[in-house]
């Protein structure tokens, strides 16, 4: 082990200096205001957690078509840009750094959440198993509309514009959400991509949409302000791939050519911590840049990953929900608050901004 670096060591993340290597993972919390605007409650929530080296916000829709859940913030309207600007300014005033996560859910939506009741979109017209959350309660997923080539180009432009909007809101950078069964992941994996054009079939073709999104975003913002999130073996949202090691080796090697700030990978399957079928070192090596590890890490296992050079940074999800001062608790090796899972998705300040600090300070 290299005892000279730790979770608390500073690091240069692309164009952004970070005070430590502890990252707040992106987590949907369903607290946006009317118009999918980030409001005062969201401002307080993130500002409380500004001790993180980096905050990655919850997924934020790049367009009205990208919406998949009630009360999730976007980054495509002037009101949304203005709302996020207040959040970002508050985080910066508290000494934090923040990237926005750019999100399009693809088929993981419902007509009631889409403009004019349209079908959700996807690479192929394959209905996901299960149900989704709507303003009217749980509803079965529908068969999505398979995107035409011109529609794909339109969505790529939406990513480019969303990156510009995020810059205008003052963010330090943006993370492209290419994980967890959402639109980009739907193109990457062969369970959901049955296209017979140059966006489907071979691994080369299935990675094309991801790479074209990256190329669009880095024309709007420097590569050193952009990260990408992948989840090579996560099965969330009824997704899978017949050869994920090969698929994501190719994706990571291609991403490594752009000088991005980092690669963020959810290792294994959500909530099945430490159970890996794949060789994640291959993904990291092929990318060649900073590697952000995620999924079930503890203070001890994260520190080991940093010292053994298996990760450059580690993202924490649920621990940050329940512990706004997680970094300080880690420094002191103090006990952690338990998370109230009943308040994860939607509601008011309860289970959101009312978790206690070690020293009872509030923001």
H/E/C letters for each residue in the chain? CCCCCCCCCCEEECCEEECCCEEECCCCCCCCECCCECCHHHHHHHHHCCCCCEEEEEEEECCHHHCCCCCCCECCCHHHHHHHHHHHHHHHHCCCCEEEEEECCCCCCCHHHCHHHCCCEECCCCCCCCEEEECCEEEECCCCEECCHHHHHHHHHHHHHHHHHHHHCCCCEEEEECCCCCHHHHHHCCCCCCCCCCCCCCHHHHCHHHHHHHHHHHHHCCHHHEEEEECCCCCCCCCCCCCHHHHHHHHHHHHHHHCCCEEEEECCECCECCCCCCCHHHHHHHHCCCEEEECCCCHHHHHHHHHCCCCCEEEECHHHHHCCCHHHHHHHCCCCCCCCHHHCCCCCCCCCCCCCCCCCCCC
Contacts of 238 (CB under 8 A, 6+ apart): 128, 129, 130, 181, 191
Stretch 355-363: mean pLDDT: 75
Cβ atoms within 10 Å, residue 3: 6
Spatial separation of the C-alpha atoms in residues 37 and 268, rounded to whole Å = 32
Q: Judge whether residue 361 has pLDDT over 70.
A: no
pLDDT of residue 268: 87
pLDDT of residue 47: 98
Contacts of 360 (CB under 8 A, 6+ apart): none
Cβ atoms within 10 Å, residue 204: 11
pLDDT, mean over the chain:
96
Confidence bin at 272 (pLDDT 50/70/90): confident
Assess whether 69 carries a catalytic annotation: no
Determine the CATH number of domain 11-343. Answer: 3.20.20.70
Q: Which residues of 252-265 are buried (b: 16+ CB within 10 A; e: fewer)?
A: bbbbbebebbbbbb
Tokens 């994260």 identify what position?
302
Tell me which of 1-15, 26-40, 129-143, 222-236 is least confident.
Answer: 1-15
Q: Judge whether residue 363 has pLDDT over 80.
A: no
Tens digit of each residue's pLDDT (9 = 90 or more) over 177-235 = 999 999 999 999 999 999 999 999 999 999 999 999 999 999 999 999 999 999 999 99
Contact 297, 316 (CB under 8 A): yes
Tens digit of each residue's pLDDT (9 = 90 or more) over 52-70 = 999 999 999 999 999 999 9
Spatial separation of the C-alpha atoms in residues 60 and 238, rounded to whole Å = 21
Tokens of 73: 């913030």
pLDDT of residue 3: 55
Tens digit of each residue's pLDDT (9 = 90 or more) over 81-134 = 999 999 999 999 999 999 999 999 999 999 999 999 999 999 999 999 999 999
Q: Judge whether residue 298 has pLDDT over 50.
A: yes
Position with higher pLDDT, 219 vs 1: 219
Confidence bin at 274 (pLDDT 50/70/90): low
Catalytic residue among 45, 182, 199, 297: 182
Q: Which residues of 216-243 are buried (b: 16+ CB within 10 A; e: fewer)?
A: bbbebbebbbbbbbbbbbbebbbbebee
Tens digit of each residue's pLDDT (9 = 90 or more) over 123-136 = 999 999 999 999 99
Contact 226, 14 (CB under 8 A): yes
């Amino acid at each position: 082990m290299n005892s000279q670096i730790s979770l608390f060591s500073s690091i240069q993340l692309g164009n952004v200096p970070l005070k430590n290597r502890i990252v707040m993972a992106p987590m949907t919390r369903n607290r946006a205001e009317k118009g999918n605007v980030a409001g005062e409650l969201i401002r307080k929530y993130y500002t409380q957690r500004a001790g993180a080296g980096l905050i990655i916000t919850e997924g934020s829709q790049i367009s009205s078509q990208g919406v998949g859940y009630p009360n999730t913030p976007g980054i495509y309207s002037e009101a949304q840009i203005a709302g996020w600007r207040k959040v970002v300014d508050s985080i910066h005033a508290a000494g934090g750094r923040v990237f926005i996560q750019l999100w399009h859910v693809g088929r993981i939506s419902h007509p009631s959440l889409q403009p004019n009741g349209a079908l959700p979109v996807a690479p192929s017209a394959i209905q996901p198993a299960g149900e989704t959350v709507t303003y009217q309660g749980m509803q079965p997923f529908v068969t999505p509309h398979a995107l035409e080539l011109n529609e794909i180009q339109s969505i790529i432009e939406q990513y480019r514009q969303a990156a510009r909007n995020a810059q205008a809101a003052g963010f330090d950078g943006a993370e492209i959400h290419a994980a967890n069964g959402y639109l980009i992941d739907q193109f990457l994996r062969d369970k959901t991509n049955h296209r017979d054009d140059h966006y489907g079939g071979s691994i080369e073709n299935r990675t094309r949409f991801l790479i074209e999104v990256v190329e669009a975003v880095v024309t709007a913002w420097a590569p050193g302000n952009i990260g990408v999130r992948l989840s090579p073996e996560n099965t969330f949202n009824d997704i899978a791939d017949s050869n994920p090691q090969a698929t994501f080796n190719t994706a990571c090697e291609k991403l490594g050519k752009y000088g991005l700030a980092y690669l963020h990978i959810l290792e294994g399957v959500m909530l099945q911590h430490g159970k890996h079928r794949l060789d994640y070192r291959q993904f990291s090596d092929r990318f060649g840049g900073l590697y952000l590890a995620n999924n079930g890490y503890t203070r001890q296992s994260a520190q080991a990953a940093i010292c053994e050079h298996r990760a450059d940074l580690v993202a924490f999800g649920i621990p940050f929900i329940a512990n706004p001062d997680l970094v300080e608790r880690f420094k002191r090796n103090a006990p952690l608050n338990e998370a109230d899972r009943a308040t994860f998705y939607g509601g008011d300040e309860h289970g959101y901004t009312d978790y206690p600090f070690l020293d009872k300070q509030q923001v």
